[in-house]
Amino acid sequence: MRKFSCLIITLSDLECDYINARSCCSKLNKWVIPELVGHTIVTVLMLISLHWFIFLLNLPVATWNIYRFIMVPSGNMGVFDPTEIHNRGQLKSHMKEAMIKLGFHLLCFFMYLY
């Protein structure tokens, strides 16, 4: 969950012009692949261990992460691109996605404790 709070802080710093877009995107892009791999592994492990409810809960998020990674246009720096992050409200959509994932992982944290 620390990753998502850092993501939200970094995006809000970019929104307030405390950091430039290039350094923000390079910080955020280094977490895309570990998040993708980690969440996919957890989802597959839930399938293997026959925890169907948790598997079905994690499947849309894992699918979204894979889709977002695959659909990066060629020539972009990564999922977060400094030339496009201010265009078409991408900053707001990235912020909303980070808040949703933070809530999802907070919910999952308490479910896994139970």
The tokens describing 92, both together, are: 């707001």
Q: Positive or negative, the Cα torsion across 16, 17, 23, 25?
A: positive
Between residues 5 and 39, which one has the greater pLDDT?
Answer: 39
Q: What is the pLDDT of residues 8-43, one digit of tens each?
A: 888 888 888 788 888 888 888 998 999 999 999 999
pTM, to two decimals: 0.83
Round the CA-based radius of gyration of the chain to a whole number and report it.
15
Per-residue pLDDT, 63: 95
Q: In 17-70, which residue ranges form alpha helices assigned H by DSSP? A: 21-29, 32-48, 52-70
Please check the confidence at residue 2 and state whether its pLDDT lies above 90: no
Domain ranges, ordered by start, for the chain: 1-113
Instruction: Check: CB of residue 85 under 8 Å from CB of residue 76.
Output: no
What's the rounded Cα separation, in Å, for the pair 114 and 57? 15
In whole numbers, what is the pLDDT of the chain averaged over residues?
88
pLDDT tens track for 42-60: 999 999 999 999 999 999 9
